[in-house]
Structure 1
């Protein structure tokens, strides 16, 4: 799988799981070297070379085991709205892992989230009223950011196409589709294009989950499609189903919850969407719990605290005097 294969187990929620050095056929042929270390270590050139290689391999493996922390740090910076730092971290990952499509698509995610922040798209009032999704009023995107966003997406797609059946490549592909769908819908108001990208992302997620059902981040694509389309008016839902859209609200919530509880890179975004869903359902207690957890995990992001404060203010106004 190459470099991209070093993170196959990360979405399970264990980024610090190292890859233990395993001794292969060569070590079996030199079993006598391991039986009496003090004497055998210096018994001959072959044993010395073997132990030198083993030590070198251990150092390399330890370095590989530590590299997931780089991506984790980048996503934490992104969720903390530290976009410059996130870009720097993702660029460092790309430098060290030039064949991994997850590097550039993560960089694209940081571009998209920074644009969301600039345009105030992630505020809950944007999501809790459906008219925000159907207005024809387009926002004004940053053209330079859009250029960099599209370049990062294309770079990731190019790398992913080299190993189309690799789980890491499939994950990167569904991220590309999801990011492009969000950009088209929430910034450019191109709903048809967004719907097509959403379906492509769900298809990629299904291929990935067929290989590995425990790749929990992939369930976000299924959850987003089902939940976001389910809150449309009935005639719109009917048309979406005709076009192949999935509009099962209960399934959407279930898959968002699965990503929030067991996902890795996308768990915080799933929690935000669950908080929004709770607000729409007037389940303020659940929304507060989710927002409080996000505040604890990402204290430098003021959005979560602002939303919690806004909810408290609304609740106090609704209490009879």
Structure 2
């Protein structure tokens, strides 16, 4: 009996990758009607997160370092710094590019990552420090909800690094399940601790989304979930969370995308882009979702708007224009605007921040577009450029194939 269908991959991935959503972190303080660590409501913390969700990672890290110095024994202060350090590295490694996960698959794709040992050690050291600080507090009071939340958060962040960068899925899953257990206990002790609903909600949804045969198997181990209950928990976190409000919305957006409920996903993306207009990733994701929803003309307009904003000095921090150019190329090709699509792909390949892998993807797509124009000689030039940029790669293998047999769109 085949327990894992091709559609089960994204659900299994989410247990690690989406447990603490990396793609688009942001925070916003909510009313004083929910329980949370008092540190979350401090103006200096909110100011640091304002830099963070505008993708000014260096500015956020400098502020979190100061907060940590002022709270040397607080695991939450350490987790803040871990959060910003992790996402700065994920951005550097081009791992916040959602087209990689959509096109190549997280589990099956061969995304090239060159790990920085110093940053890796820093991330693991900060995670260990936060966990140890939380453990010290829990020895005094095993029911300290703030310590439990901080420990679970630190575990989930390290799990994200292990899954996305090191692709150590087993170890990452172990940490992720520990994070879920911590936050479930938080909710058992204090149902008003809305931030803990993010991790628990993701767990519920992911297990509920697994194929029936697999759910039956893990059910014998006492593991159960519900998509409906998971979504309800995420909606609560999105409405009332203090430091997980935006993560909950973003997680909901990706789950809606998985279910092809594009209008709802686009609406969430648009609201986030309006709330944080200087966050390049939120603005980009609105266009990505419009494209995936099949609204190519609207996506083209949004991509061009994002590119125009990115060309304005100082408008975005850490903008990767190549991602917008690549999405624009896909959208233009979908509308059979082939020459414009080639121009977009080549613009993406020429950006100084374009990774070697994305450059090969751009050149390959430009070649495929020339083939759709029945211009195989010019397509071959692009395929040869792919080989020159890396013949022993996924893109290189495809380029070799299309050199001999023109791409037909099938």
Instruction: Settle same-fold status: TM greater than 0.5.
Output: yes
Q: 1:76 to 1:235 in 2, by over 3 A?
A: farther
| Structure 1 CA distance for aligned equivalents of residues 159 and 181 of structure 2 | 13
Counterpart secondary structure, 1:162: helix
| Structure 2 CA distance for aligned equivalents of residues 277 and 255 of structure 1 | 13
Tell me, yes or no, if structure 1 residue 72 matches structure 2 residue 46: yes
| Structure 1 CA distance for aligned equivalents of residues 60 and 216 of structure 2 | 40
Asked if structure 2 preserves the Cα contact closer than 8 Å seen for 1:11 and 1:215, the reply is no
Aligned to 2:115: 141
Q: Which of the numbers 82, 92, 113 marks the counterpart of 2:56?
A: 82
Asked if structure 1 preserves the Cα contact closer than 8 Å seen for 2:203 and 2:230, the reply is yes
Greater Rg over alpha carbons, structure: 1
Tell me, yes or no, if structure 1 residue 252 matches structure 2 residue 226: no
Asked if structure 1 preserves the Cα contact closer than 8 Å seen for 2:40 and 2:242, the reply is no
Aligned to 2:84: 110
84-93 vs 292-301, greater mean Cα deviation: 292-301
Tell me, yes or no, if structure 1 residue 191 matches structure 2 residue 208: no
Aligned to 1:13: 30
How many residue pairs align between the two structures?
A: 266
Measured after TM superposition, the shift of residue 281 of structure 1 is 1.9
Measured after TM superposition, the shift of residue 227 of structure 1 is 2.7
Asked if structure 2 preserves the Cα contact closer than 8 Å seen for 1:198 and 1:225, the reply is no
* CA shift digits 1:29-70 (9 cap, x unpaired): xxxxxxxxxxxxxxxxxxxxxxxxxxxxxxxxxxx9997122
Aligned to 1:47: none
Q: 1:66 to 1:188 in 2, by over 3 A?
A: closer
Mapping of residues 188-227 of structure 1, within 5 Å: 188-227=166-205
Mapping of residues 30-109 of structure 1, within 5 Å: 68-109=42-83
Asked if structure 2 preserves the Cα contact closer than 8 Å seen for 1:16 and 1:68, the reply is no
Q: 1:275 to 1:255 in 2, by over 3 A?
A: same
Measured after TM superposition, the shift of residue 269 of structure 1 is 1.2
Measured after TM superposition, the shift of residue 265 of structure 1 is 1.0
* CA shift digits 1:175-200 (9 cap, x unpaired): 01211221222222222212211211
Counterpart secondary structure, 2:137: coil
Segments of structure 1 that go 5 or more residues without pairing to the other structure are 1-9, 18-63
Q: 1:108 to 1:128 in 2, by over 3 A?
A: same
Counterpart secondary structure, 1:132: coil
Measured after TM superposition, the shift of residue 15 of structure 1 is 6.7
Measured after TM superposition, the shift of residue 139 of structure 1 is 3.1
| Structure 2 CA distance for aligned equivalents of residues 302 and 245 of structure 1 | 38
Q: 1:69 to 1:218 in 2, by over 3 A?
A: same
Q: Which of the numbers 252, 264, 269 marks the counterpart of 1:286?
A: 264
Measured after TM superposition, the shift of residue 226 of structure 1 is 2.6
Aligned to 1:29: none
Asked if structure 2 preserves the Cα contact closer than 8 Å seen for 1:216 and 1:259, the reply is yes
Measured after TM superposition, the shift of residue 119 of structure 1 is 3.0
Asked if structure 2 preserves the Cα contact closer than 8 Å seen for 1:16 and 1:69, the reply is no
287-296 vs 196-205, greater mean Cα deviation: 287-296
Asked if structure 1 preserves the Cα contact closer than 8 Å seen for 2:273 and 2:283, the reply is yes
Q: 1:232 to 1:79 in 2, by over 3 A?
A: farther
Measured after TM superposition, the shift of residue 270 of structure 1 is 1.3
Mapping of residues 263-302 of structure 1, within 5 Å: 263-302=241-280
TM-score by length of 2: 0.57
Asked if structure 2 preserves the Cα contact closer than 8 Å seen for 1:217 and 1:266, the reply is yes
Asked if structure 2 preserves the Cα contact closer than 8 Å seen for 1:72 and 1:265, the reply is no
Measured after TM superposition, the shift of residue 251 of structure 1 is 2.2
Q: 1:67 to 1:227 in 2, by over 3 A?
A: closer
* Cα RMSD for the two superposed structures: 3.2
Q: 1:232 to 1:223 in 2, by over 3 A?
A: same
Asked if structure 2 preserves the Cα contact closer than 8 Å seen for 1:185 and 1:194, the reply is yes
| Structure 2 CA distance for aligned equivalents of residues 201 and 226 of structure 1 | 13
Aligned to 2:133: 159
Measured after TM superposition, the shift of residue 239 of structure 1 is 5.3
Aligned to 1:316: 295
